[in-house]
Every structure is written in C-alpha cells, then in structure tokens.
Amino acid sequence: MDYFYITDPGKIRERNEDSVCICENQTGEKLLIVADGMGGHKDGEVASSIALNLICERFRNISSLGNKEDAINWIQSTVSEANVEIFRYVSMHPESQGMGTTIVLSVLTPSYLLIGNIGDSSGYIYKNGKIHKITVDHTLVNLFVKSGELTAEEAKNHPKKNVLMKALGSSTNVDMDIFNVELNVDGIFLCSDGLTNMLDDNQIAKVLNEDISLEQKLEKLVFKANNRGGSDNISIACLLKEENNDK
C-alpha cells in the first residue's frame, strides 16, 4: 500500500482551517482523517486540529481496534470525546463561540474497512479506475434533494449548499454515520469540499489513473482545484494499493 496526504489553503482563503493526517496503531491498522474547520475568525482551524489530534493520538496508542463492532464503538466514542474537547475549549475561550469542524475518516484493518463522516467532507472508495462516494453530506441542500425539492444538479449551485446540518462543535450530542465497506477495493480517498466543489468525480478519477506517483497525483488535484478557482481550503488523504499506484 502507498498513502499520502496533502492540504492547501486554496487561492481565496487567507488561512487554512483544514487538518489532515494518516496514521497507524501498534499493529499497523490505518486511520485516514480529514477535518474541515469552520468559523472563519472563530478559530475553525483550532476546532479541526483539536478533533484530528485527539482522534489520531488515541488511535496511535491502541494496539488494535478489535472486531468490527468494537471498531465502530471506538470511532463513535472517540469522535464524541473530540466533540466534548471542542466545547471545553470554547468554554475557556468565549471568543471562539461558533467554531466547529466537519470530519471524514476511514479505518482499514486486515478484516474490514469502515468510512465515517459528520458534515460535508467526502469519503470515497477507488475501484476499477473509478471513485465511488460512500458518505452522505449532512447539508441543508441534501435534505432538499432527498425530499425532492431539488435535483442533484440544482443542488450543486444552490446558494445554501454549504449550510451544514451536522458538525463537531455544533451540538453536545454527535452521531457519526459509519459505513461498512467491502475490503476488495483499490484505494480509499477522503477530501474536504474545497476539492469536490471544484472537481467532479470523473475529473478526480482521471488523475488517480495517471501513471505518476501518488504524491504527484494529489499535488495535481490540488493544482487543478486551484486553477478552477480554489475558493476554499483543499485537503486530501489517500491510500492506494501498490499495483494501482505506478511509480
């Protein structure tokens, strides 16, 4: 396996409020995570770093996630702990009231693959040269799409497409959507909406299929997103099987 992560402030934003990491626990199980901070001057980057650092630290310090059910429980409890930590920070820094973060993560073990999200950062699998979105965005417009008030095409350019219905730091009770994914995939691809707002799935897959290193692929995706406007921070965490990542 080959893995790499990257983050970029984009062309418009003054600060990068995203946090991204890939890490291993003591038995080599892997965690990929992307957190997209929100709040602007309200310290969105603090919220994303609190969540990412806590979850990664807890993961590095365990020997194994155990079976699938244990892993799901671990994810939910650790994400809830990160949410509590964000609220604790706000209680000590009232000027940061309103900060929060989306989060998308994936855990990969020899026995199972899980992808979870809160908010509108996206989790995909990569298989047979295509990417397939696993997560469901927790946004207002997505509710409109589900209810039939908007088409998927109309939702792409809706003025309220970035209004979140769920995020860490927005409620004292959080529940992450967790998806059990087949192990027989060629890769895992997580990203913030700074990428998906600029590039569609086919454009992303086309770059992943190129005969260049994984690092070059992610750098090229960031370049393309910036070239199309770069209106937000751009973060990606990706893992590919070696045979699908020509050097």
Q: Among the ranges 82-86, 138-142, 155-159, which has the highest mean pLDDT value?
A: 82-86
Query: Mean pLDDT over residues 238-242, rounded?
Result: 91
Statement: residue 247 has pLDDT above 50: no
Query: Mean pLDDT over residues 151-177, rounded?
Result: 83
What per-residue confidence (pLDDT) applies to 168?
96
Query: Mean pLDDT over residues 111-139, rounded?
Result: 97
Query: Mean pLDDT over residues 105-113, rounded?
Result: 98
Lowest mean pLDDT, pick from 2-16, 156-170, 196-210: 156-170
Neighbours of 98 (CB within 10 A): 16
Tokens linked to 137: 């965005």
Three-state secondary structure string covering the chain? CEEEEEEECCCCCCCCCEEEEEEECCCCCEEEEEEEEECHHHCHHHHHHHHHHHHHHHHHCCCCCCCHHHHHHHHHHHHHHHHHHHHHHHHHCHHHCCCEEEEEEEEECCCCEEEEEECCCEEEEEECCEEEECCCCCEHHHHHHHHCCCCHHHHHCCCCCCCECCCECCCCCCCCEEEEECCCCCEEEEECHHHHCCCCHHHHHHHHCCCCCHHHHHHHHHHHHHHCCCCCCEEEEEEECHHHCCC
Percentage of residues in the chain having pLDDT higher than 90: 79
Statement: residue 245 has pLDDT above 60: no
Instruction: Give the pLDDT confidence of 20-32 residue by residue, as tens digits.
Output: 999 999 999 999 9
Angle between helices 44-60 and 68-92 (to 10 degrees): 140
Q: Which long-range contacts (CB under 8 A, 24 or more apart) does 135-140 make?
A: 135/104, 135/177, 135/179, 136/177, 138/164, 138/165, 138/166, 138/167, 138/177, 139/163, 139/164, 139/165, 140/164, 140/165
Percentage of residues in the chain having pLDDT higher than 70: 96
Query: Mean pLDDT over residues 175-180, rounded?
Result: 96
What per-residue confidence (pLDDT) applies to 19?
97
In the chain, the domains with their CATH numbers are 2-137+166-242 (3.60.40.10)
Report the chain's mean pLDDT, rounded to a whole number: 93
